[in-house]
Amino acid sequence: MVRFLLNDEPVELQVNDPNLTVLRYLREQQSQCGTKEGCAAGDCGACTVVVAAPTPTGDELQYRTINSCIALMSSLHGKQLITVENLGNAKSLHPVQQAMVDNHGSQCGFCTPGFIMSAFALYHSSVEVDREEAIHALSGNLCRCTGYRPIIDAALSACAQRQPDQFDAQKEQTISALLKLGSSCADKDAQALIMPTNRQQLADAMASHPLAKLVAGSTDLALDITQGQQQFDTLISLSQMAELKQIEITEHTLEIGAMAALNDVACAVTEVYPQLQELFTRFASLPIRNQATLGGNIANASPIGDTPPVMLALEASLVLDNGEECRTVAARDFFTGYRQTVMAKNEWIRRVIIPKKQPNQRVAAYKISKRQEDDISAVCAVFSLTIENHVVTKLTSGFGGVAATPVCCPELEQALVGLTWSDPTCLATGKQILANAFSPIDDVRASAAYRKQVLANLWHRFWLEHQTDNLIPTRVVSHA
Ligand SMILES: Cc1cc2nc3c(=O)[nH]c(=O)nc-3n(C[C@H](O)[C@H](O)[C@H](O)COP(=O)(O)OP(=O)(O)OC[C@H]3O[C@@H](n4cnc5c(N)ncnc54)[C@H](O)[C@@H]3O)c2cc1C
Ligand code: FES
Ligand code: FES
């Protein structure tokens, strides 16, 4: 049973079809057709809705955009689903809607509900809204006819004159309703959509449904449904596994629960490794990062996933759990073949452990993609270098887009140790090794020859950028 608020109305829904997306639920079961379907793949933002959830302290609500076309119903349990129909009322529009009218931000109108919902989440965020923040908040929404300037102006003008709205007025009632709805335990007898709340329940569910897929944020898995026309008989959702959502910073490590949303992961990781900021910002779009999890990105084992090269270069390890015992596996030993890992059928990723930055460690991440925004990597390269007295004492690496799995380059890592970093031999050796280390494929994103050349170029860039202590890269390029 999924329990949530649809706008102000409590809903208890027995989900018999685990493939039901939030978008289909709204349009087909609730006749709320304000939320549009454009791509059904998380790319256009026409389907954007806002999900509000109590903060961990339980005294505020956090408003986040998600793409309803690839969100499954389990993601709503204990949350408030806010749709465009509920922002204004018969007498007046919500300030973000009024600003859109005043700034001529809509023409055909198909994208408009999605933009309104993104602007609404920004209106309810605690950030100081400037132009950059507005662009960031709207980054998952595409418009083919109006042009973005009036839409950005509308978001800016609404946020410049923020006044408490009806959502603020009802905040306390909403929080208490959500805490009550969320505290109801999942049904033990559910067969189609199973939502365990602890590791024992999860292990039992996996044992009794050996063919069922696990689902986290569903930003990969739902594409099998909406694009691949696949139908799952049973899904086991990790959405209620509170223990998988924790992020802890210890003296020497960052410990990140597999179910932590990528936006939260980005905040924690970039505190320690600020050089990774742009890689995270260029990971999909804001609504996807609100939904997608770190565990999903790693378990998916895509050769073009963006966090696996980071995990390889930072020598992260993964805690795998089967309900009875946990084992720790180095990220370097995790990927065994194309979309294959060492995980046993009865295991899941519980936690990711990333060592903290060392004093002489320099880290850089480069994502090369055809588009700057919301695009998958053609090549991703992450380097971590330790220099003592001008000499390389350690180099670790991680790459995406160049092999069947995310990979590191042991040859490069060994060849550089002991060399003086400023010696051009470091440059030449690295370029030569990387240009020949892998046998990438030709595909729509890039040719094999381009990928090899890019790797060598990125090494050149990394070497140049790290010749002095002051030169720390702050930008990630899209075209090498
Ligand atoms: C528009 C769009 C843009 C994207 N852009 C990027 C991008 O820039 N970079 C990038 O790397 N990816 C990108 N992705 C892919 C996707 O968003 C990420 O891979 C995401 O991190 C997947 O996480 P999830 O929680 O949504 O996984 P899900 O879709 O829920 O699951 C993915 C797979 O992992 C398994 N799984 C999930 N959690 C666990 C766990 N804890 N233990 C074991 N197995 C588990 C599931 O069974 C499933 O097989 C994009 C996707 C879309 C739709
Ligand atoms: S319909 Fe395009 S992102 Fe959902
Ligand atoms: S107003 Fe037509 S797509 Fe944006």
- The full set of domain ranges for the chain reads 2-85+168-237, 95-160, 243-355, 361-465
The pLDDT score that the predictor gives to residue 373 is 80
Q: Are strands 317-321 and 348-355 parallel, antiparallel or unpaired?
A: antiparallel
Residue nearest to atom 27 of ligand 1 (CA): 296
C-alpha–C-alpha distance, residues 370 and 376, integer Å:
8
C-alpha–C-alpha distance, residues 308 and 299, integer Å:
9
Pocket lining: 306 vs ligand 1, CB cutoff 6 Å: yes
The pLDDT score that the predictor gives to residue 478 is 44
pLDDT digits (tens, 9 = 90+) for 244-282: 999 999 999 999 999 999 999 999 999 999 999 999 999
Q: What percent of the chain has pLDDT over 90?
A: 89
Does this chain's domain 2-85+168-237 share its CATH topology with 243-355? no
Residue 473 pLDDT greater than 80, yes or no: no
- One CATH from 3.10.20.30, 3.20.20.20, 3.40.50.300, 3.40.50.1970 for 2-85+168-237: 3.10.20.30
19, 67, 68, 215, best to mutate for ligand 1 pocket (most atoms within 8 Å of CB): 215
Tell me the mean pLDDT in the region 115-137.
96
C-alpha–C-alpha distance, residues 330 and 470, integer Å:
32
pLDDT digits (tens, 9 = 90+) for 204-235: 999 999 999 999 999 999 999 999 999 999 99
Please report the atom of ligand 3 found closest to the CA of residue 107. Answer: 1
Rounded mean pLDDT of the chain? Answer: 94
C-alpha–C-alpha distance, residues 67 and 292, integer Å:
11
* Ligand 3 lining (C-beta closer than 6 Å): 106-112, 143-146
Domain 243-355 has CATH 3.30.465.10: yes
Pocket lining: 297 vs ligand 1, CB cutoff 6 Å: yes
The pLDDT score that the predictor gives to residue 471 is 42
Token digits of residue 185: 């335990």
User: Which residue has tokens 């009865």?
Assistant: 346
**Cβ–Cβ < 8 Å for 403, 397:** no
110, 116, 118, best to mutate for ligand 3 pocket (most atoms within 8 Å of CB): 110
With the C-alpha atoms ordered 111, 112, 115, 117, is the resulting torsion angle positive or negative?
negative
Residue 476 pLDDT greater than 50, yes or no: no
Q: 281: CA distance to ligand 3 center in Å? A: 25
C-alpha–C-alpha distance, residues 251 and 317, integer Å:
16
Please report the atom of ligand 1 found closest to the CA of residue 308. Answer: 11
**Cβ–Cβ < 8 Å for 49, 81:** yes
The set of residues, in sequence order, having a beta carbon less than 8 Å from that of 147 and lying 6+ positions away, is none
Q: In the Cβ-directed half-sphere of 286, how many Cα atoms lie within 13 Å? A: 24
Residue 474 pLDDT greater than 80, yes or no: no
With the C-alpha atoms ordered 311, 218, 74, 6, is the resulting torsion angle positive or negative?
positive
Token digits of residue 343: 């995980």
Please report the atom of ligand 2 found closest to the CA of residue 70. Answer: 4
Token digits of residue 457: 């170029």
The model's pTM is 0.95
Residue nearest to atom 4 of ligand 3 (CA): 143
The pLDDT score that the predictor gives to residue 475 is 46
Interhelix angle 148-160/112-123, nearest 10 degrees: 30
The CATH class, in words, for 95-160 is: mainly alpha
pLDDT digits (tens, 9 = 90+) for 395-437: 999 999 999 999 999 999 999 999 999 999 999 999 999 999 9
Q: 218: CA distance to ligand 1 center in Å? A: 7
213, 219, 341, best to mutate for ligand 1 pocket (most atoms within 8 Å of CB): 219
Token digits of residue 204: 């039992």
Q: 325: CA distance to ligand 2 center in Å? A: 40
**Cβ–Cβ < 8 Å for 248, 99:** no
pLDDT digits (tens, 9 = 90+) for 272-305: 999 999 999 999 999 999 999 999 999 999 999 9
Pocket lining: 348 vs ligand 1, CB cutoff 6 Å: yes
Query: For the chain, how far is it from start to end, CA to CA, in angstroms?
Result: 50
297, 338, 368, best to mutate for ligand 1 pocket (most atoms within 8 Å of CB): 297
Q: Which ligand is nearest to the CA of 111?
A: 3
The set of residues, in sequence order, having a beta carbon less than 8 Å from that of 259 and lying 6+ positions away, is 216, 238, 239, 241, 244, 245, 293, 295
**Cβ–Cβ < 8 Å for 221, 299:** no
Q: Which ligand is nearest to the CA of 206?
A: 1
* Ligand 2 lining (C-beta closer than 6 Å): 37-40, 42-47, 67, 69
pLDDT digits (tens, 9 = 90+) for 79-106: 999 999 999 988 899 999 999 999 999 9
Q: 98: CA distance to ligand 1 center in Å? A: 36
Grade residue 186 by pLDDT with cuts at 50, 70 and 90.
low
Residue 237 pLDDT greater than 90, yes or no: yes
CATH no. of 361-465: 3.30.390.50
Question: Cα separations (Å) of 199 from 12, 246, 292, 317, 400?
Answer: 24, 14, 21, 20, 32
25, 33, 39, best to mutate for ligand 2 pocket (most atoms within 8 Å of CB): 39
